[in-house]
Amino acid sequence: MTSMGGQRRLGRRLILLIGAIYFAFPFVAMARFAFQNVQVFDLGRSTLFENWSLTSVTSAFGEDYFWDALRLSIQLALGTALLTLFVLVPTAVWVHLRIPRARAVVEFLTVLPYVIPAIALVAGIVVIKPHARWFLNSDLSLIPFYAVLALPFTYRSIDAGLRAIDLRTLTEASRSLGAGWNVTLRRVLIPSLKSALISSTFLTVAVVLGEYTIADVLLKRTLPAFMAEYRQSDPRGGYALAVLSLLATTLLFAGIGVATRPRGGRNPRTDEPSPSTEETPS
């Protein structure tokens, strides 16, 4: 019996170890390539610690295009996050309070972007383009489409936040104390939904910073598009930017983890899985 249990434990360890190697190695390889200026065939014990530097990043930062792309991506991220909050929070609150029966339907609508992936969506945008040039010629016209791509994650995180609070009691208490809907939203709902709103915003930013498909087809120069283009002339610089973007994304997810961590078991219902650990299409 003991030997079988031991074998099983060994098997588990082995699986975890193989997993760790598979997930760590590609990242290490990319980081090495980005930050160490040594050809692969020169690598050896003597050169392993040579020529590490951040010059690849600094030279990428030296490009004017980089700053343009960064500015555009930041504008898109902020715009998408704001649009998401303005459309989704009232909708989700409304559905929870007034038409709980419609919850499943709304939820179904919010996962439709899984069915119509970015490459198909952008095909549709290309069709519409001649009829809406006044709108689609602007770089910022990506905002609503990015909000759509982020919809499955953002709605779910706001929905989870609403499930975790006693919405009806809170609003009724606020209303009976004389607050209007505006005050209720600003002083009661938003504070109690803070962590859901933060995680929805971070998810949006992560989606916008990673989105490449639509930007590439529509020739918009966002940060990922710059990264792809810059790699053609300076591979190490492009890879270095990818390392930075991965770190940024990881930080955003860590932030979501902190924001949605259940606090001291005060409310057992907040123990639902945090929205960050849900599936997304790539």
Partner 1 sequence: MALIDLSHSSPGDEGATASAVAPSLRRKGQTLRDYAGLLPFLTFLLLFLLVPAYSVFDQALKNPDGSFGTDAFREAISGQNFQAFKFSITFSAGAAFVGVIAGTLLAHAASTVEKPRWIKNLVTSFSGVAANMGGLPLAFMFLSLLGRQGILTKILEYFGFDLYAGDFGLGEVSGLIIVYSYFNIPLMVLVTLPAIEGLRPAWREACVNLGGTGFTYWRRIGIPVLLPSLLGGFLLLFANSFSAYATAQQLTDNSKIVPLRIGFFLGGDVSIGEDAVGYGLAAWMIIVMAASMGAYWLLRRRSERWLG
Residues 203-232 that bind partner 1 (CB under 8 A): 206, 210-213, 216-217, 224, 227-228, 231
The amino acid present at 149, given as its one-letter code, is: L
Q: Report d(CA 211, CA 247) in Å as an integer.
A: 16
Tell me which residue has tokens 């990043």.
Answer: 57
Task: Give the binding range for partner 1 (CB under 8 A) out of 47-55, 56-64, 156-164, 247-255.
Answer: 247-255
Q: Report d(CA 129, CA 135) in Å as an integer.
A: 9
Shortest CB 216 distance to partner 1, Å: 7
Shortest CB 192 distance to partner 1, Å: 16
Name which of residues 56 to 95 contact partner 1 (CB under 8 A).
Answer: 86-88, 90-91, 93-95
Q: Report d(CA 228, CA 237) in Å as an integer.
A: 10
Residue 15 binds partner 1, judged by CB under 8 A:
yes
Q: Are 146 and 76 contacting, i.e. CB atoms less than 8 angstroms apart?
A: yes
Widest distance between CA atoms in the chain: 75
Per DSSP, the three-state class of 98 is coil
Q: How many CA atoms lie within 13 A of 80 on its CB side?
A: 31
Residue 54 binds partner 1, judged by CB under 8 A:
no
Phi, psi torsion values for 36, nearest 5 degrees: -120, 120
Shortest CB 133 distance to partner 1, Å: 15
Alpha helix stretches (DSSP H) within 40-63? 55-61
Shortest CB 259 distance to partner 1, Å: 13
Q: Which residue among 121, 139, 170, 198 contacts partner 1 (CB under 8 A)?
A: 121
Q: Which residue among 23, 191, 264, 266 contacts partner 1 (CB under 8 A)?
A: 23
The single-letter DSSP state of residue 272 is S
Nearer to partner 1 by C-beta: 54 or 109?
A: 109
Name which of residues 122 to 181 contact partner 1 (CB under 8 A).
Answer: 122-128, 144-145, 147-148, 175, 180-181
Name which of residues 95 to 114 contact partner 1 (CB under 8 A).
Answer: 95, 98-99, 102, 106, 109, 111-114
